[in-house]
Structures are given as structure tokens and as C-alpha cells.
Amino acid sequence: MNIWFDISNSPHINLFRGMMCDLARSHELVVTARPLANTVQLLQLHDIEHTVVGKHYGAARLAKAYGYPVRVCQLWSFLRDKRIDVAVSQSSFHSPVVARLLGARSVYMNDNEHALGNIPAFLAASAILVPECLSTRNLRLQYASPRKVRRYPGVKEGIYLHPLDAVLRRARRERSDKPRRRIYVRPEPWTAQYYNGAVNFLDDLLLGLKSEASVTLLPRDGEQAKHYGQPRFKGIRVVAGALDIAEIAPDCDLFIGAGGTMTREMAVLGIPTISVYQDKLLDVDRYLLAREALLHRPSLTAVEALRHLEQSTRRSPNRELLQKGRLACDMVKSAILNG
């Protein structure tokens, strides 16, 4: 079987990496990528053979609308002679449409009910996989046919995080003699179509934290890295390249996230996590909030963050979510192989 994975954003690499390794033993894989955030860097970091197709068109909606059919055509042109049997993606709005044009099945995963690109993807997809908490109403509003929808248990982050359990336990023992607390911060997804919140709103928070803790900022792209590379942010470590979750999680005492996936990853792994997301929360975030896996403080101050850092302790990774993730992983593989 020829299986095509389209990687449209950096978090999707962790989601699919283990599946790719398993499937590559018996099937031919084709991997395409869109150069957004740290996607290409992470693919290179993990030695995943891939082809970059298209580009990201920025935050402007008009540019996104123009770029959408352009990349669909580019992907179709690249794939038309590769005899693809099934297309697999998470939040790649292009993938199901291209698969339909190629006459192939498609498995489309998404956990963001605010993304308008879901509409063409839901209409074109053969199978739609969403987390159990995603509301039926939101799916219906985006024209997801009930006969296509399959709900997997837990959240997508549980699918691939369970191997990190032993890594985190070992890292906690090794870090017992390092007193300076470490805070990691992920800024807002400022170019995302679904994001309508504030931009650069973390500046005051970071300035208040940098002299009190070891702060590492994980920019989404070069523009964010340039902003936080200004002299006034001196003392904050701004990561120039890509860091894998296995490097971040063991070193992190408090995670502050203005986006989605990485914030949920830390919460599932039991690391004290505060979401400062400025837009409407997703159903998956409410799901984790209800389980007290994270806090939501959109107006977080440095004083509040440091108080939480002082009072909080790491928990063990969430066993329920990781167990659900194992079941979800089997469900996704079955959808890919068996339809």
C-alpha cells in the first residue's frame, strides 16, 4: 500500500512519527510538508525523508484563500504518478481534497473546531477522526457527515506521549540537584487562520520573569524569534532551531503556552501548565481543564506565574489519557489500513 502523509505543522510530526515507523515496515510512504513554524527543522531532526511542497501564505485571510488552491494543485502535480492508496493528515486542509482528485481514500484528523479549513476537508475526506470531546454541533456546522465521523478516546496528544513516561522519571532524578527553576514559554499562533487574539501580549510577562527564573522561549517562526531577540529581552533564552518534546519536557518546571498542542502535551505529561490563550478555547482544552490537567489564565502576570511555580509540583503523566492514547493510536492505524 502507498500511504501519503501531509505534514502541515510541526506538532503533527510527533503525532505521526511512531505510526510512520511501524507502517514503513510493510508499506511505501510518501511524506510531504508545508514550511510552517518548525516543521521542516523537526522532520530533519528526526531523519524523516520528505518533500517540501508549497509555502505558508502568512496571517492575511486573502493570502490564505489564494494559497489554498495553489498548494492543492502543487500537491496533485507532485503525487499524480505515485499511485497513492490512502492519504493521512492532521489539520491539513489540502490533503483530503488532493486525495479526492487522485481517487484515493483519505483519513483526516482534526481537534480544532474553529478552523474554517475543516469545511472542504470534511466534505472531501473518506474518514474523519476527532477526539471524543469534540461537540456534535461544531462538527455539523462544518458539514462533517455523521457517517464519516469516528471519535477516538482522549486527546490526540495521548496517542504519542506514553513513551516519554520513563524519560521524565529518569530526568526528575537527575535534576534533583539543580535549584534554579525553569520556565518554558510558547507564544501565540499569530499566523493561524483560526486565531483572532492579541499578538506579542507576552512581553510584560516575560520581562517580569527573566530575572526570577531561567526562561526559555520557543518561537514559532523567524519573526517571533526576531521580536524576542531584542535587547530588552536579554537574559531570556530564545531557541533558534527546533527542540523535540523529549528535550523540553524533562527540563521544564512550568510551561506557559499561548497556543494549543504543546500546551496540551505538557499538561498530559503532568508538568505544571498554564494556558494564556487569548481566543475562544477549544473543546479539547475544556476537556483538560475539567480534569484539572492545566490552568487557563489569559491575563497571567509574572507574580502569579512565579507563585504557581513555587507552589506547584510535577505530577505523574496522566495515566488515563495515555491509556486512551494507546487505544486511539490503534484506531487511527486501523482507519489507515482497513478504511
Q: For residues 145 and 151, give the distance between their C-alpha atoms in angstroms, rounded to a whole number.
A: 13
Average pLDDT over residues 275-287: 93
Give yes or no for residue 179 having a pLDDT over 70.
Answer: no
Q: E strands, 146-223, where?
A: 149-152, 182-186, 214-217
Q: Is the dihedral of CA 255, 89, 133, 324 positive or negative?
A: negative
Q: What is each CA distance from 270 to 152, 215, 333, in whole angstroms?
A: 21, 19, 26
Q: For residues 16 and 53, give the distance between their C-alpha atoms in angstroms, rounded to a whole number.
A: 18
Which pLDDT score is estimated for 164? Answer: 73
Q: E strands, the chain, where?
A: 2-7, 28-33, 51-52, 86-90, 105-109, 127-131, 149-152, 182-186, 214-217, 237-238, 254-257, 273-275, 295-296
Which pLDDT score is estimated for 180? Answer: 63
> Which amino acid, residue 154?
G
Which pLDDT score is estimated for 315? Answer: 78
Q: What whole-number percentage of the chain has pLDDT above 70?
A: 93
3-class secondary-structure state, position 179? coil
Average pLDDT over residues 245-272: 91
Which pLDDT score is estimated for 181? Answer: 87
Which pLDDT score is estimated for 297? Answer: 97
Count how many Cα atoms sit within 13 Å of the Cα of residue 155 in the half-sphere of its side chain: 28
What does the CA dihedral 149, 4, 153, 318 come to, rounded to 10 degrees? -160
Question: Which residues have a Cβ under 8 Å from the Cβ of 223 and sit 6 or more positions away?
Answer: none
Which pLDDT score is estimated for 176? Answer: 53
DSSP code per residue over 72-119: HHHHHHHHTTS--SEEEEES-SSHHHHHHHHT-EEEEE---TT-TTHH
Give the pLDDT band (50/70/90) at residue 59. Answer: low
Task: Give the gyration radius of the chain's Cα atoms.
Answer: 20
Give the pLDDT band (50/70/90) at residue 312. Answer: confident
Residue whose grid cell is 514559554: 185
> C-alpha cell of 193?
487562520
Could you tell me the pTM of the whole model? Answer: 0.88
Average pLDDT over residues 44-63: 83
Looking only at the bridges linking them, the beta strands covering 28-33 and 2-7 are parallel
Rounded mean pLDDT of the chain?
Answer: 91
